[in-house]
Amino acid sequence: MDEVRFWNVARTDQQIQENMCRTLDGDEDNLVAYYRFDQLNTDGQTTLYDITSNENTGTLYNMDATSDWVSCTAFDTWIGWLSNSWSESKN
């Protein structure tokens, strides 16, 4: 898991598709909590910070905080290589 976003409104298919491979700023309308999982805590911390101003900070359990944080470039490498059509099955 690389990111988790909580909204207080239902998102349309188009809104999800337009933003799914984009890092948010954290101040988007109706965004309640935004966890990016990219702190790279090496000091033993298991705190998961909410990037929004709502400060819904969480605590991660059952993890080794010195080795389980990893960097990710998943959003940077997604290119829709089979098709850029969202209505097409990608089996």
31-41 tens-digit pLDDT = 999 998 776 55
Quick: pLDDT tens for 39-56.
Answer: 655 566 788 889 999 999
d(CA 2, CA 35): 8
Domain count, the chain: 1
- The dihedral through the CA atoms of 59, 64, 66, 68 has a sign that is negative
If you ran DSSP here, which 8-state letter would residue 12 be given? P
Q: What does the pLDDT read at residue 81?
A: 46
Closest CA to 71 of 38, 23, 49: 38
Mean pLDDT of the chain: 77
Buried (b) or exposed (e) across 65-77, using 16+ Cβ within 10 A? Answer: eeeebeeeeeeee
The counts of H helices and E strands in the chain are: 2, 4
Residue 63: its pLDDT value, please? 80
Q: How many CA atoms lie within 13 A of 43 on its CB side?
A: 2
- Full residue range of the structural domain in which residue 31 is found: 1-91
Residues of the chain with pLDDT under 70: 39-44, 70-91
- What pLDDT shows up at residue 8? 97
